[in-house]
Amino acid sequence: MLHGFIVDFFAPGVRLVVEVDGAHHTRQRGADKRRDRALAAAGITVLRWPAELVLRKLPDALQLVAQALAT
């Protein structure tokens, strides 16, 4: 649990959450946005990637994480 939320991946050293969103997230976008805002208010960056990207193009997904960390 992180600030009351279950997250997919958390890198505490860089205060980064990576969420891998499956189809069920299309039905809960409002809840996801509220959660992302709450985490951002706590100083945590949230990256959301579609599950398809992670499952089919993992190197691309990892490159996007690396780019986000570089900024």
pLDDT, one tens digit per residue, over 34-64 is 999 999 999 999 999 999 999 999 999 999 9
What's the angle, vertex CA 33, arms to CA 60 and CA 54, rounded to 5? 20
The pLDDT value recorded for residue 22 is 81
Please give the model's pTM, rounded to 2 decimal places.
0.84
Q: Sorting pLDDT into bands at 50, 70 and 90, what band is 26? A: low
Nearest to 8 by CA among 67, 70, 69, 61: 61
The pLDDT value recorded for residue 32 is 87
Asked if pLDDT for residue 29 goes beyond 80, the answer is no
How many residues are recorded in the chain?
Answer: 71
